[in-house]
């Protein structure tokens, strides 16, 4: 009889290269850290149901959102390490609009809690792209939550609009998140990628923290040759990726 964890490891090993010792250590750590966050999430939900007090409900909502954000980051990291070690990526046709809708829905309250307004721009029809749905969703979610935190940490205007956008360009379907403030430049992003993990604030002009959401998103999107790039959209500034269309499906 095969144990689940052994079977899982065997499966991962069979389809992937060997993880380095550091990868294995951090994979293990990341898996372990998920549990307390799940416990916090549930405890916070229980608090909301037990007490009708609006202040408890508001605090509990904040705890829930923060825990979800942390879990999403951990999941993104795990997925990126696994994908980097896979010899053959499992690609599938993915609707970028649908992933962006889901991200906007999951982060709407998180944005409000940071005094930001999250808008969607998904006008027009876009064909499917070849990617991995979970990876695209996790990448965009982590990128967007990091963007929300970064904008919120720098600004105190009551209306801080962020826009999650999808549009077509010459290479494929471009999607990203934008704000009215030019927080990042291409050179800053390139430098940040070089010093990531070595300093506490690799993107000090952008983010007061480690910028992990951006790096996790970039690591995931690079698996589809679609790294994050500094981009502009309707007078706004941000980070975007361009995913290649699924030509096979477009022919149908």
Residues making contact with another protein (CB under 8 A): 1-5, 7-8, 10-12, 31, 34-35, 37-39, 41-43, 45-46, 49, 68, 71, 75, 82, 134
Supply 82's token pair: 């696994």
Residue 137 and residue 118: Cα distance in Å, rounded?
Answer: 16
To the nearest whole angstrom, how small is the minimum distance from the Cβ of residue 64 to another protein?
A: 8
To the nearest whole angstrom, how small is the minimum distance from the Cβ of residue 49 to another protein?
A: 8
**Residue 217 or 230: which CB sits closer to another protein?**
217
The answer to whether residues 164 and 118 touch, using CB atoms and an 8 Å cutoff, is yes
- How many CB atoms within 10 Å of residue 208? 14
Burial 12-22 (b: 16+ CB within 10 A, else e): eeeebeebeee
**Residue 40 or 244: which CB sits closer to another protein?**
40
**Residue 71 or 210: which CB sits closer to another protein?**
71
**Residue 33 or 188: which CB sits closer to another protein?**
33
The answer to whether residues 239 and 229 touch, using CB atoms and an 8 Å cutoff, is yes
To the nearest whole angstrom, how small is the minimum distance from the Cβ of residue 5 to another protein?
A: 6
To the nearest whole angstrom, how small is the minimum distance from the Cβ of residue 4 to another protein?
A: 4
Enumerate residues 6+ apart whose C-beta is below 8 A from 179.
147, 151, 160, 161, 162, 163, 236, 237, 238
Residue 198 and residue 45: Cα distance in Å, rounded?
Answer: 37
Residue 24 and residue 29: Cα distance in Å, rounded?
Answer: 8
**Residue 106 or 146: which CB sits closer to another protein?**
106
To the nearest whole angstrom, how small is the minimum distance from the Cβ of residue 133 to another protein?
A: 10
To the nearest whole angstrom, how small is the minimum distance from the Cβ of residue 67 to another protein?
A: 9
Q: Which of 53, 50, 220 is nearest to 146 (CA)?
A: 220
**Residue 3 or 247: which CB sits closer to another protein?**
3
């Amino acid at each position: 009889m095969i144990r689940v964890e052994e079977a899982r490891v065997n499966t991962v090993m069979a389809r992937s290269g060997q993880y380095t010792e550091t990868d294995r250590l951090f994979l293990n750590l990341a898996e372990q850290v998920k549990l307390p966050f799940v416990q916090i999430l549930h405890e916070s939900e229980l608090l909301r149901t037990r007490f009708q007090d609006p202040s408890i409900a508001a605090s509990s909502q904040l705890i829930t959102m923060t825990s979800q954000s942390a879990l999403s980051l951990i999941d993104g990291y795990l997925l990126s390490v696994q994908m980097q070690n896979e010899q053959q990526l499992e690609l599938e046709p993915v609707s970028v609009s649908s992933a962006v809708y889901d991200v906007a829905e999951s982060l709407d309250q998180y944005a409000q809690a940071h005094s930001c307004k999250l808008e969607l721009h998904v006008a027009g029809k876009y064909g499917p792209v070849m990617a991995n749905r979970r990876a695209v969703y996790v990448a965009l979610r982590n990128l967007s939550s990091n963007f929300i935190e970064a904008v919120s940490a720098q600004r105190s205007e009551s209306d801080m609009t962020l826009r999650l956008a999808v549009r077509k360009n010459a290479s494929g379907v471009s999607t990203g998140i934008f704000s009215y403030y030019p927080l990042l430049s291409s050179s800053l992003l390139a430098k940040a990628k070089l010093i990531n993990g070595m300093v506490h604030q690799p993107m000090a002009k952008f983010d007061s923290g480690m910028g992990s959401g951006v790096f996790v998103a970039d690591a995931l999107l690079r698996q589809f040759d679609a790294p994050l790039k500094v981009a502009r959209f309707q007078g706004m500034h941000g980070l975007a990726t361009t995913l290649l269309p699924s030509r096979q499906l477009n022919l149908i």
